[in-house]
């Protein structure tokens, strides 16, 4: 690496203190004046250093209150949980609601149902013909009243047109159960997981802090004829979520 500039040296020392735990989650970072004196640098240098750490998602600058090491207590998402309850007689609980309630927290959601020409990648995954329609059920999910993530589930319109899935409002027994009743039980799913920076719209809806990526988790569900019947796209701010799979060697 090239020789680092003054502000990078200050950032490196603070970063080290955070990674080694000398500054723990929620701890207040010394004030600008204290950092200027401790490192014998200008206010501008201190600000550049703090800006770098903020962009890395390590610290949070709160107006009037000061600068803090970010809390990292992610919600544990277990995509297999939803699958286990998929084809039993049990009431359905989706992975998000399960994760939230098992931590003793309150789960909530806003739901919006629409009939759309889906985005190209969703249309491809659903193997839809050109210009074919899908029903999308868009959910903005909350934990203890705070917006947490979004989940948009797409279904081929030709399959769900006359069902509850195409009507507004929550489905108590779950959309997956309705698919079963329509003869399209999901017997196999493919989960794709990636990450990217949020769009400005996502940042605003989900109140995402600067320097925080989102994990994008896409589940495609297939019926016994291997027809894709559901594409669920979850956008999970990375500082608040952890995805876990448990596998056994056979």
Q: Which chain residues interact with a copy of itself by CB under 8 A?
A: 1, 8, 12, 15, 21, 55-57, 74, 79-80, 83-84, 86-87, 120, 185-197, 199-201, 204, 211-215, 238-239, 241-250
Considering beta carbons, is residue 102 or 245 the nearer one to a copy of itself? Answer: 245
Contact 154, 114 (CB under 8 A): no
Contact 13, 19 (CB under 8 A): no
Considering beta carbons, is residue 48 or 193 the nearer one to a copy of itself? Answer: 193
Rounded to the nearest angstrom, the gap between the alpha carbon of residue 90 and the centroid of all alpha carbons in its chain is: 26
Q: Quote the tokens at residue 154.
A: 């797409």
Considering beta carbons, is residue 88 or 145 the nearer one to a copy of itself? Answer: 88
Considering beta carbons, is residue 143 or 214 the nearer one to a copy of itself? Answer: 214
Considering beta carbons, is residue 166 or 205 the nearer one to a copy of itself? Answer: 205
From the CB of 5, what's the least distance to a copy of itself, in Å? Answer: 12
From the CB of 219, what's the least distance to a copy of itself, in Å? Answer: 9
From the CB of 95, what's the least distance to a copy of itself, in Å? Answer: 12
Task: Supply the angle between the helices 43-55 and 32-39 in degrees, to the nearest 10.
Answer: 110
Rounded to whole angstroms, the Cα distance separating 238 from 215 reads 6
From the CB of 142, what's the least distance to a copy of itself, in Å? Answer: 19
From the CB of 17, what's the least distance to a copy of itself, in Å? Answer: 14
Phi-psi region at 227: left, alpha or beta (left = phi > 0; alpha = psi -120 to 50): beta
Contact 208, 149 (CB under 8 A): no
Rounded to whole angstroms, the Cα distance separating 86 from 159 reads 19
Contact 239, 217 (CB under 8 A): no
């Amino acid at each position: 690496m090239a020789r680092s500039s003054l502000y990078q040296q200050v950032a490196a020392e603070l970063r080290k203190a955070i990674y080694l735990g000398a500054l723990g989650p929620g701890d207040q970072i010394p004030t600008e004046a204290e950092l200027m004196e401790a490192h014998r640098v200008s206010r501008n240098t201190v600000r550049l250093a703090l800006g770098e750490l903020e962009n890395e998602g390590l610290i949070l600058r709160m107006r009037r209150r000061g600068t803090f090491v970010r809390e990292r207590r992610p919600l544990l998402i277990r995509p297999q949980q939803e699958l286990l309850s998929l084809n039993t007689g049990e009431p359905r609980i989706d992975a998000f609601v399960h994760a939230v309630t098992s931590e003793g927290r309150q789960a909530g959601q806003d739901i919006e149902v629409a009939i759309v020409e889906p985005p190209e990648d969703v249309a491809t995954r659903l193997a839809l013909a050109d210009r074919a329609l899908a029903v999308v059920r868009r959910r903005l999910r909350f934990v203890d009243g705070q917006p947490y993530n979004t989940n948009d589930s797409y279904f081929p319109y030709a399959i769900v047109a006359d069902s509850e899935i195409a009507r507004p409002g929550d489905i108590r027994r779950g959309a997956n159960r309705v698919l079963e009743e329509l003869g399209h039980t999901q017997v196999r799913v493919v989960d794709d997981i990636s990450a990217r920076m949020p769009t400005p719209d996502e940042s605003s809806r989900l109140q995402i802090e600067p320097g925080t990526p989102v994990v994008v988790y896409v589940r495609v569900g297939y019926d016994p004829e291997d027809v894709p019947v559901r594409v669920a796209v979850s956008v999970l701010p990375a500082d608040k979520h952890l995805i876990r799979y448990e596998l056994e060697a056979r």
